[in-house]
Chains A and B, each alone.
Chain A
Amino acid sequence: MPRWTRWGLLALGLIVLGTAPSWIDDSYWIGVLILGYLYGVFASSWDFMSGQTGRENFGHAMFVGGGAYTAAFLNTKYGVSPWWSLPAGGGVAVVIGLVIGLPTLRLRGPYFALATLAGATILQRLTIILWEQTGGEEGISDLMPLVGSPVAFYYLALGFMLVVATILVLLARSPWGLLLRSIRGDEAAAQAAGVNTTLHKIGALLVSAFFAGMGGAFYAHYQLQVGPTLFSITVSITVVIMSYVGGIGSVYGALGGAFVLTLMTEQLRRVGEYRLLFYTLVLIAILFFLPRGLIAPLWRRLRNGGPAS
């Protein structure tokens, strides 16, 4: 596919999404799209670290939940403006990332995966144990919205996702991204070539955490409440599955995966209890039949006019 067709398709997609509020009259579906954008932020930030470096983070909910709870604390307890929540949420997520990443990412092996999984589980327990501050199972409600009208929110979410995605895709295509992928390919060889792999893995994790935390804060000011389920393994694994569907390591694939799965599972909302079941079945199918994912390979095939590379 020639270059101009690709840019044309991208522009067409942007026009469709950009005008969506005018031809979708249903506020419910606008809400679904906003959710899709936010999950796009979560999934692409996950993919930036785990997809590029091959170190799987099973506790991305730590960053999402950390950002969301930061927003809730600042906004409801201290009356800070919602706009400050975004950088603050990102900052807290970066601190969580440092605590988990510093000890584990210098090691080879499954330690990072285990520590992230354990970290998210324990943070979720903490929100219930420290119920006096966090509201326990109920969580914290009555946050202020970022902007008033749903349509304004829609454009804000779309813009937020586009900015985050652009930054992450550019970073992934930069020399730094190449360096990160060399860690996934052969960490020992990268080290032998003089790359401080630990430093770069931690750097990638912090970038990933920052955007996920920002996304979490955004989410909190959209839902206007936060709860312990934000830290749940369901959130972590949903993000992972979205990236797997999109094709690990491509960043834009994760974005597409998040979007497709959010829209698809909305159809399942009346059978809400089956949603996670559906996600896990999708994951199992992908692992066995499409280990490279769906969206990124499809796009590459279109682009090259031949088999996916």
Chain B
Amino acid sequence: MVIEIVIYAAVSSAIYAMLAVGFTLIFGVARVLNLSHGTFYALGAYFTYTYNGLLKLPLFVAALLAIATVAAFGVAIERVMVRPLRHSGLAVLMITLAMSLLIEQVLFLTFGSETQNVPSLVSDKVTVFDVDISGQRLLAFGVSVVLISGLWLFIQRTRLGNAILAVSQDAEGAQYMGININRVFASVMGLSAALAAAAGVLAAPFSKVEPGMGLLPMTKAFSIVILGGLGSIRGSLLAAIVLGFSETLVGYLISSSLTELVSLVVILLVLILRPAGLFGKHVAF
């Protein structure tokens, strides 16, 4: 049973990590608290459903195409909605929240409120240490590790990555060095949307695909990001693991109905004990 807990916890940590890293990245770089992050997750699942279920594309192609579509959509939201309002943090909060509700409504009007089926990319069961686990969950774990390591390398090794790093440290200073910060913001939004969409695509087969599916994962992402420290990628990775494991443990040891409470308790505890989070440099803003 211990191994079962570890495996399931690792898979949900991986999904949470993909969501939280993107959320913290766009905050750390652009100081944008993106309340439509959860819809990127939902859109990932719905575009996969559209491309695969309705347009009959092969599932793998549909998944990749879905991620690309959501990334482009993220860039568009940054360009059209967020950029003109960036002077006011409150307006950005409101517009991203409004976008998330708008998209949820559009999904609801297009697909209805019933849950959709997104097939698994890997349908076989795999036995790891005598535990049967669906291949899809293992795939989600693997892809998450690959994507996040890729993101890390991208930020550390490439020119655009360095520009992102520079802007996150001091946007104005970076601008004086000739970095086009608008392009950096747009690419970060695209990256963060792509990661959230990937999480949605991978989790879709074993979760309920419905218009409001993004809200709860997004509140999980909040608590992870608060625990890890707003803007810290390392912090969110660690916090995703902490939340994934504590939720799974609470589910196994006490009751699965209490798992939803874990993230709220985490938020409150962190804000009382250490508001900057594990790796946050200072309380933001």
- Which chain A residues have a beta carbon within 8 Å of chain B's beta carbons? 54, 56, 58, 99, 102-104, 107-111, 113-115, 117-119, 121-122, 125-126, 129-130, 233-234, 237, 240, 244, 273-274, 276-277, 279-281, 283-284, 287-288, 291
A109 touches B283 (CB 8 A): yes
Q: Which residues 227-271 of B sit at the A interface, judged by CB distance below 8 A?
A: 230, 257-258, 260-261, 263-264, 267-268, 271
B109 touches A111 (CB 8 A): no
Closest 7 CB pairs of A and B: A109-B285, A103-B271, A118-B219, A109-B284, A129-B257, A277-B105, A103-B272
Closest to A291 in B: B91
26 sampled A-B residue pairs with Cβ under 8 A: A56-B94, A58-B35, A107-B271, A107-B283, A109-B284, A110-B33, A110-B230, A110-B284, A111-B226, A114-B222, A114-B267, A115-B267, A118-B263, A118-B264, A122-B261, A125-B260, A126-B261, A129-B260, A233-B101, A237-B101, A240-B94, A277-B109, A280-B98, A283-B94, A283-B98, A288-B85
Smallest CB separation, B263 vs chain A (Å): 7
Q: Is the CB of B108 within 8 A of A273?
A: yes
In the complex, which residues of chain B have a beta carbon less than 8 angstroms from the beta carbon of A283? Answer: 94, 98
Nearest chain A residue, comparing its CB with the CB of B101? A280
- Chain B residues in 8 Å Cβ range of A110: 33, 89, 93, 230, 284-285
A56 CA / B267 CA spacing, docked (Å)? 18
Interface members, chain B 39-78 (any A CB < 8 Å) = none
Docked pose: A121 CA to B99 CA in angstroms? 18
Asked if B109 and A130 make an inter-chain contact with CB atoms under 8 angstroms apart, the answer reads: no
Question: Given A113-B93, A273-B108, A284-B102, A122 and B264 touching (CB < 8 A)?
Answer: yes
What's the A-B contact tally at a CB cutoff of 8 Å? 107
B33's closest neighbor in chain A, by CB? A110
A128 to chain B, nearest CB (A): 9
Question: For B109, what are the chain A residues with a Cβ–Cβ distance below 8 Å?
Answer: 273-274, 277
Residues of A within 8 A of B257 (CB): 129-130
Residues of the A chain whose Cβ atoms lie less than 8 Å from the Cβ of B35: 58, 117
Known: A56-B90, A56-B93, A113-B33. A280 touches B285 (CB 8 A): no
Q: Interface on chain A toward B: helix, strand, loop, or mixed SS?
A: helix
A99-B268, A121-B219 given; A109·B91 CB < 8 A:
no
B275 contact from A111, A129, A130, A291, Cβ within 8 A: A111
Interface-central residue, B99, B108, B226, by most chain A CB under 10 Å: B226
Q: Is the CB of B84 within 8 A of A288?
A: yes
Q: Is the CB of B105 within 8 A of A276?
A: yes
What DSSP secondary structure best describes chain B's contact surface?
helix
Q: Whole-angstrom distance from the CB of B118 to the nearest CB of chain A?
A: 23
Interface residues on B, range: 35 or more
Could you list 9 further interchain pairs (A-B, Cβ under 8 angstroms) beyond the known A122-B263, A129-B258, A280-B101? A56-B93, A107-B283, A111-B275, A111-B283, A114-B267, A122-B264, A126-B260, A274-B105, A276-B101
Interchain CA distance A115-B268 in the complex, whole Å: 8
Question: With a CB–CB cut-off of 8 A, which chain A residues contact B101?
Answer: 233-234, 237, 276, 279-280
Q: Are B94 and A287 in contact (CB under 8 A)?
A: yes
> Once the chains are docked, how many angstroms separate the CA of A118 from the CA of B226?
12
Residues of A within 8 A of B106 (CB): 277
B residues less than 8 Å from A274 (CB atoms): 105, 109
Determine the residue in chain B with the shortest Cβ distance to A285: B98
Q: Write the chain A residue with the least CB distance to B255.
A: A129
Q: Give B220's nearest chain A residue, CB to CB.
A: A118
Q: In the complex, are the beta carbons of A280 and B102 less than 8 A apart?
A: yes
Rounded to whole angstroms, the CA-CA distance of A252 and B272 in the bound complex is: 35
Bound complex: CA A68 to CA B88 (Å): 34
- Rounded to whole angstroms, the CA-CA distance of A125 and B220 in the bound complex is 13
B269 to chain A, nearest CB (A): 9
Shortest beta-carbon distance, A54 to chain B, in Å? 7
In the bound complex, what is the Cα–Cα distance between A119 and B84 (angstroms)? 30
A120, chain B: closest CB distance, angstroms: 9
Verify if B97 is at the interface (C-beta below 8 Å from A).
yes
Contact A108 B285 (CB under 8 A): yes
The answer, among B81, B94, B284, for a CB contact under 8 Å with A244, is B94
The reply to whether the CB of B187 lies closer than 8 angstroms to some CB of chain A is no
Measured in the bound complex, the distance between the Cα atoms of B144 and A225 in whole Å is: 44
Contacts of B261 in A (CB 8 A): 122, 126
Min CB distance A198 to B, Å, is: 12
Cβ–Cβ contact A287 & B283, under 8 A: no
Shortest distance between the CB of B260 and any CB in chain A (Å): 5
A282 to chain B, nearest CB (A): 9
In the complex, how many angstroms separate the beta carbon of B89 from the nearest chain A beta carbon? 8
Contact partner of B105 (CB less than 8 A), chosen from A111, A280, A284, is A280
